[in-house]
Amino acid sequence: MLGIDSLLASEWQRLEEVVALLGPFAVLTDVLQSDSQSLSNIIPSLLDLECHLQQCPAPKTLATSMLRDLHRRFENLLQPRSADFNPLPAAACMLDPTLCRVLMEPDLASLLHAAKMYVVGACADTSIVEPAETVCETVCAPALKRFKYLASRINAQESATVSALSRSSSDSVMGQINRYVSEAGDSNATIVSDFWGTKPGNYNLLHRIAQDLMAAPASQAYVERIFSLCGMLTAGRRNRMDKSLEMRVFLKLNKDIK
């Protein structure tokens, strides 16, 4: 009959337990699909859910099954030995000074090492090009164009220097990474952009890739919503409006801001 509670007290208790079990998943899903969360938040979020499932008092059977599925589903992000391992989220987490401490746990040593090696490889690809550009500027300087043979000798010397820098780039990058990890572990930084904005000289090989990774969103859900909104604003009779689509989308997304 309508208006009569047909569930037993034990059944209501079981529903409350399920809600408590699934609640953190709903919260983190909503947070990560917003436009304010960086790629660096993925690893801490997964580890937080793992701790939640391990500490959840009841129902144990369901929590254990979900924990096993969580490990299997995100093995490519948490297990460097996985064949499909993607080190990008771990690298982003490491280069986020507000979250770097997460990867310093002893049981995450392999994940931290994988993140370091990814950054070393990414920086090595770019650090070889930058000195070459400096050499070109030196050789092509107006004052040296009059001295053909002297300029060629300087060019040869600078090429040898660039080659040496290329061979030692991995060591220098790893040195900066280790120094950064040590500093970030003791840092109380709360704003990522402020930290890297003041460190370009100390970490000249890291700050560019750090800024790139911090700008990457944690999820593509927000971008997909923007595309859906663009589709709705250009459908039917709206496709002849004088105002630009960019302006209309901006106003629609920020309509609640006063």
Could you tell me the two tokens for 39? Answer: 């790629």
Reported as a single tens digit per residue, the pLDDT across 180-209 is 988 887 777 778 888 888 777 788 888 889
* 250/258 Cα distance (integer angstroms): 14
How high is the mean pLDDT of the chain?
79
Would you state the pLDDT for residue 157?
66
Please tell me the distance from the alpha carbon of residue 165 to that of residue 205, in angstroms, as a whole number.
12
Q: List 38's β-bridge partners, or say none.
A: 217
| CB-CB contact of 89 with 46 (8 Å) | no
**Would you call the peptide bond into 89 cis, given omega within 30 degrees of 0 as the criterion?**
no
**Per-residue pLDDT tens for 2-17?**
666 678 888 888 888 8
What pTM was computed for the model? 0.71
